[in-house]
Chains A and B, each alone.
Chain A
């Protein structure tokens, strides 16, 4: 079966712009979690969506937001981009939300210039 699909794979944006990233989970998975990966901070939890509801949220500013659709696909949005938002954004899907069963996508590499 298909894995977790993230689009686009690479993105270059200018400071002040906004960006939307997409994550299609494994078929049947209802939970999608997002993580930011940077060389300095490592992998940090952004938020988790389950059945279209945000169930958990990390310690990121309000510029970072997300949503989940009825087909479990999820998007995350970053507004007013800053240079420090340059990172690999990873999403992980699970059936019910258990972190022990995460399947990660390959990520979207965002570069802010």
Chain B
């Protein structure tokens, strides 16, 4: 069935360094991908998205890369800050309908 998975459940990064969070997806028909950030006690918060006709998209301190050949998605966070500590989820969608989420990666920023 459709599934979105994450390579690493936890990631620790020194403050100021860059971090990369990876995600594998299985539905080659998915045409829309989103990264979410979830802090303790809160719902997921939109970070950045990318459509299947793109391979890279940049936001403020974040970049999403999409490799459709190997069905891989990554989130790069530049110059990490303590406030970046959270669980990050990738999600995929076909036709911009319901989302299929990955299991999440917990990012911890070390001061």
Contact = CB atoms under 8 A, between A and B. Distances in A.
Interface string A69-113: 000000000000000000000101000011110101111000000
Interface of A: 4, 33, 35, 42-45, 48, 56, 58, 90, 92, 97-100, 102, 104-107
A45 B4 CA distance: 13
Contacts of B43: 4, 90, 92, 104-107
A104 B45 contact: yes
A42 B102 contact: yes
Interface size class, chain B: 20 to 34
B85 to A, nearest CB: 18
Contacts of B97: 48, 56, 97, 99
A48 B89 CA distance: 20
Interface in B13-60: 32, 34, 41-46, 49
